[in-house]
A and B are shown apart, each in its own frame.
Chain A
Amino acid sequence: MPHLAASPTSAAAAAPASARVAFLRPGRVPRPPLQTARGLRPDLGTLRTAEQPTLYDLLGISSEGTLDEVRAAYRRMARKYHPDVSPPDVAAENTRRFIEVQEAYETLSDPSRRATYDRALARGVCRLAFSSSRRVAPYYYQDQEDKSGWRRTWGDQIEELKRRSMTKDSEENLSWGARMRRRTETSSSE
Chain B
Amino acid sequence: MTEQLYTVASDSETTGEDKSQMSFPDVAIGIDIGTSNCSVAVWTGHQVDLLKNTRNQKGMRSYVMFKDDSLSAGVTGGATREHGHEERDILSGSAIFNMKRLIGRMDTDEVVQASKSLPFLVQTLGIGVRPFIAALVNNMWRSTTPEEVLAIFLLELKALVEMHLKHPVRNAVLTIPVAFSRFQQTRIERACAMAGLHVLRLMPEPTAIALLYAQQQQQLLHDNMGSGIEKIALIFNMGAGYCDAAVAATAGGVSQIRALSGSTVGGEDILQNVMRHLMPDFDSLYAGQTMDRIKSIGLLRMATQDAIHKLATQEHVEINVDLGGGHKVSKILDRGEFEKVNQSIFEKCEGIIKQCLADAKLTPEDINDVILVGGCSRIPKIRSVVLGLCKKDDSYSGIDPLEAAVSGAALEGAIASGVSDPSGSLDLLTIQATPMNLGIRADGGNFAAIIPRNTAVPARRDMLFTTTHDNQTEALIAVYEGEGNQAEDNHLLGYFKITGIPAAAKGTVEINVCMDIDAGNVLRVFAGVVKPQGQAVPPFIEVRMPTLDDGHGWCGQALAKMYGSTLDVATIPKKLHP
Contact = CB atoms under 8 A, between A and B. Distances in A.
Contacts of B512: 158, 161
A182 B576 CA distance: 11
B416 A1 contact: no
B462 A136 contact: yes
A75 B251 contact: yes
A83 B431 CA distance: 10
B578 A95 contact: no
A186 B540 CA distance: 29
A51 interface: no
Interface stretch (B263-271, B303-311, B332-340, B525-533): B525-533
Contacts of B539: 1
B190 interface: no
Given A84-B415, A171-B575, A162 B460 contact: no
B252 interface: yes
For this complex, into which size category does the number of interface residues on chain A fall? Answer: 35 or more
A166 B510 CA distance: 11
Contacts of B526: 154
B458 interface: yes
A153 B227 CA distance: 45
Contacts of B85: none
A157 B458 CA distance: 19
Contact of B530 (A82, A85, A98, A161): A161
Interface string A151-186: 000110110011001100111000000000010011
Contacts, number: 82
Contacts of A158: 512, 528, 530, 540
Contact of B458 (A68, A83, A169): A83
Given A1-B539, A82-B519, A162-B531, A185 B251 contact: no
Interface in B252-285: 252-254, 256
A83 B518 contact: yes
Nearest to A168: B578
Nearest to B455: A102
A137 interface: yes
Interface string B443-459: 00000000000001011
A154 B540 contact: yes
A44 interface: no
A41 interface: no
A165 B460 contact: no
Nearest to A71: B230
A170 to B, nearest CB: 6
Nearest to A102: B456
A75 B252 contact: yes
B252 A72 contact: yes
Contacts of A157: 514
A48 interface: no
Interface string A124-151: 0000000000001100100000000000
B230 A83 contact: no
Contacts of B431: 78, 82
A140 B518 CA distance: 11
Contacts of A162: 530-531, 533
A75 B415 contact: no
Contacts of B516: 140
Nearest to A88: B418
Contacts of B458: 83, 95, 98-99
A79 interface: yes
A95 B456 CA distance: 12
Given A1-B539, A84-B429, A154-B542, A75 B254 contact: yes
Contacts of B459: 99, 102
Nearest to B464: A165
A158 B537 CA distance: 11
Interface in B450-478: 456, 458-460, 462, 464
A79 B254 contact: yes
Contacts of B518: 83, 95
A84 B575 contact: no
Given A1-B539, A99-B460, A84 B430 contact: yes
B574 interface: yes
B81 interface: no
Nearest to A135: B462
B429 A82 contact: yes
A69 to B, nearest CB: 12
A165 B530 contact: yes
Nearest to B529: A158
A1 B533 CA distance: 12
B577 interface: yes
A84 B254 contact: no
Contacts of A83: 458, 518-519
Interface in A92-113: 95, 98-99, 102
B575 A71 contact: no
Contacts of A99: 458-460
Given A71-B251, A72-B252, A155-B540, A182 B460 contact: no
A94 B533 CA distance: 32
Interface in B503-548: 510, 512, 514, 516, 518-519, 526, 528, 530-531, 533, 535, 537, 539-540, 542
B105 to A, nearest CB: 31
Nearest to B459: A99
A138 to B, nearest CB: 12
B466 to A, nearest CB: 11
Contact of B577 (A1, A102, A140, A171): A171
17 contacts: A1-B535, A71-B249, A79-B252, A82-B519, A83-B458, A83-B518, A83-B519, A98-B458, A140-B516, A154-B542, A158-B512, A158-B530, A161-B510, A161-B512, A165-B510, A171-B575, A182-B574
Given A79-B429, A91-B519, 7 more contacts: A71-B249, A78-B254, A78-B429, A99-B460, A136-B514, A161-B512, A182-B574
Interface of A: 1, 4, 68, 71-72, 75-76, 78-79, 82-85, 91, 95, 98-99, 102, 136-137, 140, 154-155, 157-158, 161-162, 165-166, 169-171, 182, 185-186
Interface of B: 229-230, 249, 251-254, 256, 415-416, 429-431, 456, 458-460, 462, 464, 510, 512, 514, 516, 518-519, 526, 528, 530-531, 533, 535, 537, 539-540, 542, 574-575, 577-578
Q: Which 3 A-B pairs have the closest CB atoms?
A: A83-B519, A161-B530, A75-B254
